[in-house]
Amino acid sequence: MKILHHPHREDIQLSSVLHALSDPVRLQIISDIAAGGEQPCNNFDVPIAKSTLTHHIRTLREAGVIQVRVQGTQHIIALRSEDLNTCFPGLLSAILNVGKNTNK
């Protein structure tokens, strides 16, 4: 089984987080997780190929925005809210609020 890299809390970089959240698809994934809690990869309703979704999930994971755990054949995605709020207080909620306002 492949081991997935997740940066330690102290290794999360603001530039990586902002880059990861700059894409509309990745922002939608984060909004879905924030609204519904952790969920498997196949729950995301995004108009992209599975391989492209995998790329977006990897980008978010490597930036430290999400935690991915393997459960059987599924990959369960959770938001690293506590880590992000510790490193960058208020950033996640500000970005999610902006995302809500632009999706109206």
pTM over 0.85: yes
Q: In the chain, how many domains are there?
A: 1
CA distance 44 to 88: 26
Angle at 21 between CA 2 and CA 104, to 5 degrees: 130
The answer to whether residue 91 sits within a structural domain is yes
* pLDDT at res. 104: 47
The answer to whether residue 3 sits within a structural domain is no
The answer to whether residue 40 sits within a structural domain is yes
CATH number at residue 98: 1.10.10.10
> Residue 30: pLDDT above 70?
yes
Per residue in 37-93, pLDDT tens? 999 988 888 889 999 999 999 999 999 999 999 888 889 999 999 999 999 999 999
* pLDDT at res. 71: 87
Per residue in 91-101, pLDDT tens? 999 998 875 65
> Residue 1: pLDDT above 70?
no
Domain that holds residue 67: 12-102
